[in-house]
Amino acid sequence: MTQKDERNEKILQELRRLYPDAGPELHFTNPFETLIATMLSAQCTDKRVNQVTERLFARYTCAADLARLEPEELEPEIRECGLYHNKARNIVAACRVICETHGGEVPDSWEALYALPGVGRKTANVVYANAFHGDAIAVDTHVFRVSNRLGLAHAKDVDHTEQQLQQAIPKSEWSRAHHYLIFHGRRVCAARSPKCGACTLRDLCEYYRQQNRT
């Protein structure tokens, strides 16, 4: 094991200790709900998405229900999530493909998820990991910031961060690590003022070392 591997493992150990219950904060109970909630979550808080989906999933329980709508009919139901025009168009289009190509069921392969309209790498990874227990590490703003600060990755964009995290973290832990890093980003390692003084990862953190270099 190299020194870097040992340091990465120590970071993971501490994250496991800090967040043993880390998991999705979006509410969903099946692959259809996972996909729709994740598509709605772009640039929106999980809390707001959960409020919207509580109503939405009471009325629409499967892809066929949403595939029958015109995007304009869905827009008012998801307006509070922001970007509702694009989100409605993508959700209806994705549900139509699911009905036409996948028998009405959200596909369980990463490639098929990624091929759905409006589904990028991050959404495909989240759905693959959370709905199908696939090995994937989705890189959102928290995962990007925290992993690059800690030194688990050294990348300027989310795609390279994802590739580097796949190297730094054992495959069986990709999905859990995604949640650990989000939890840490929300609770301690905030974008503007990270609480480094209270952070138990600071002795392992490259950002902290650089900021406190004498």
Q: How far is the CB of 21 from ligand SF4 (least distance, A)?
A: 19
Give the span between the Cα atoms of 82 and 96, in whole angstroms: 22
Question: Is 122 considered catalytic here?
Answer: yes
Candidates 188, 212, 213, 214: give the one binding ligand SF4 (CB under 6 A): 188
Candidates 55, 186, 187, 195: give the one binding ligand SF4 (CB under 6 A): 195
Question: Does residue 205 touch ligand SF4 according to CB under 6 A?
Answer: yes
Q: How far is the CB of 195 from ligand SF4 (least distance, A)?
A: 6
Give the span between the Cα atoms of 16 and 10, in whole angstroms: 10
Question: Is 65 considered catalytic here?
Answer: no
Question: Does residue 143 touch ligand SF4 according to CB under 6 A?
Answer: no
**Residue 83 vs 188, nearer CB to ligand SF4:** 188
**Measured CA angle at 124 (ends 87, 152), to 5 deg:** 120
User: Which member of 108, 140, 159, 195 is catalytic?
Assistant: 140
Question: Does residue 18 touch ligand SF4 according to CB under 6 A?
Answer: no
Q: How far is the CB of 193 from ligand SF4 (least distance, A)?
A: 9
- For residue 99, how many C-alpha atoms fall within 13 Å in the half-sphere facing its CB? 14
User: Which residue pairs, CB below 8 angstroms and at least 24 apart, start in 75-84?
Assistant: 77/52, 78/40, 78/52, 80/48, 80/51, 80/52, 81/40, 81/41, 81/44, 81/48, 81/49, 81/52, 82/43, 82/44, 83/42, 83/43, 83/44
User: Which member of 122, 156, 171, 195 is catalytic?
Assistant: 122
What residue ranges in the chain does DSSP mark as E strands? none
Binding residues for ligand SF4, rule CB under 6 A, total 13
Q: Residue 144 CB: number of other CB atoms within 10 A? A: 21
Candidates 149, 176, 178, 179: give the one binding ligand SF4 (CB under 6 A): 149
Q: In this structure, what token pair is assigned to residue 50?
A: 């959960």
Question: Does residue 10 touch ligand SF4 according to CB under 6 A?
Answer: no
**Residue 35 vs 204, nearer CB to ligand SF4:** 204
Using CB under 6 A, list all residues that contact ligand SF4: 149-150, 188-189, 194-196, 199, 201-202, 205, 207-208
